[in-house]
Amino acid sequence: MNKKQIVIIIAVIAVCGYLYHLDPKGLVKPKATRTNSGVASDSDKPAAANITIASVSSTAKAAIGAALTAKINDLEGQLKNAPENSKPALQKQLAVQWDDDNQPAPAAFYYQAVGRKENKYDDWLNAGNRFNEAYKLTQDTAAQAFYTTSAAESFQNALKLNAESLAAKTGLGIAYVNGAGMPMQGIALLLEVVKKDPKNIDANLNLGLFSMKSGQYPKAVDRFKAVIAAKPGFEAYYYLAETYKELGKKPEAIAAYQKSKEMMPDPVFGQRIDEYIKELKN
């Protein structure tokens, strides 16, 4: 199993954690002052003092080990001593390296830094996507708030450069629902995406997750089935199984769990799935 698969497993566990600990009816976060754009105003934004490129890089280095950290340290050293006009290229290298190491938080910061200097669509899109990924992989609520706000700003900048981008609208919708703006505005963006692209995997997957979060399990089933029809994957089968379990459809849940296990041949993940199946059979 490669590193990417390991990170995806962690992401599934993390997403399930935040999904089931949220108020099922709490799509809208109260007592938040919003700007007309739907993004939190400066007074609502989390303090960024403790969430910096240095702090997230330190945590990420501990996760990837000494060998991979050496490559990062070398690039960081080059960046520190580089003239201003050479920094964006090195920041891009760092972003790509962190991507290769499956660490979205530091990658997001570097893509954001490049976006601020060069203002290119791809960099803003990458920054937003990585901030959304980082949100899923942490249970720190302050960090989550910072990541969703940063993701929303990145996708808004991407849309200024490409107003019809479905990828940017999808990412912005996800960030809004996760807390960066008005949740129903985020749902509307995702629905707009699937109206134009019914097979859009990211939009359907997240609409399914948000349907689960609000207790609309039949709708969630339809969304996850749409994802599987477009591109079968262990993650969609996993969430489909979770949804069937909530609906009390044990045979369907077991079958979906089995498919998820088959598509992710990892012993630890497989053991977890076997435990879920055993519980359903008892």
Q: Tell me the per-residue pLDDT of 270-280, one tens digit each, with 9 for 90 and over.
A: 899 999 999 99
HEC letters along 210-245: HHHHCCCHHHHHHHHHHHHHHCCCHHHHHHHHHHHH
Homologous superfamily, domain 198-282: Tetratricopeptide repeat domain (1.25.40.10)
**DSSP 8-state secondary structure symbol assigned to residue 40:** B
At residue 5, the pLDDT reads 55
pLDDT digits (tens, 9 = 90+) for 128-171: 999 999 998 988 999 999 999 999 999 999 999 999 999 999 99
* Cβ pair 125, 171 in contact under 8 A: yes
Average pLDDT, the chain: 86
How far is residue 2's CA from residue 113's CA, in Å, rounded to a whole number?
29
What Rg, from alpha-carbon coordinates, does the chain have?
19
- Sort 47 into a burial class: Cβ within 10 Å, 0-12 / 13-18 / 19+: exposed
Domains 1-8+48-197 and 198-282 share a fold: yes
Residue 200 burial (CB count, 10 A)? 22
Strand, helix or coil at 34? strand
CA distance 133 to 206: 12
> Does position 11 have pLDDT exceeding 70, yes or no?
no
- Per-residue pLDDT at 183: 87
Q: How confident is the model at residue 19 (pLDDT cuts 50, 70, 90)?
A: very low
**Of residues 248 and 39, which shows the higher confidence score?**
248
Residue 229 pLDDT level (bands cut at 50, 70, 90): very high
| Surface-to-core class of residue 205, CB atoms within 10 Å of its CB (0-12 exposed, 13-18 middle, 19+ buried) | buried
Phi-psi region of 117 (alpha: psi -120 to 50; beta: other; left: phi over 0): alpha
Structure tokens that stand for 18 in this block: 């935040």
Each residue of 30-69: pLDDT tens digit?
Answer: 334 344 444 444 444 444 558 999 999 999 999 999 999 9
Task: Read off the pLDDT of each residue in 214-241 and give the average, rounded to a whole number.
Answer: 95
Measured at the alpha carbon of residue 163, what is the angle toward residues 161 and 164, in degrees to the nearest 5?
Answer: 130
Sign of CA dihedral 118, 122, 123, 125: positive
Residue 2 has what pLDDT? 55
Instruction: Note the pLDDT of residue 44.
Output: 46
What are the structure tokens assigned to 97, written together?
């390296």
The whole-number average pLDDT for the span 246-265 is: 94
Residues 6+ positions from 138 with CB-CB distance below 8 Å: 14, 105, 144, 147
Domain boundaries, the chain: 1-8+48-197, 198-282
Confidence of residue 247 (pLDDT cuts 50, 70, 90): very high
- Comparison of pLDDT for 8 and 65, the residue scoring more: 65
The pLDDT assigned to 266 comes to: 81
Amino acid (1-letter code) at residue 165: S
Work out the average pLDDT over 2-29.
Answer: 49
Query: What are the phi and psi torsion angles at 231 (to 5°)?
Result: -160, 95
Span 1-8+48-197 CATH architecture: Alpha Horseshoe (1.25)
**What size, in residues, is the chain?**
282
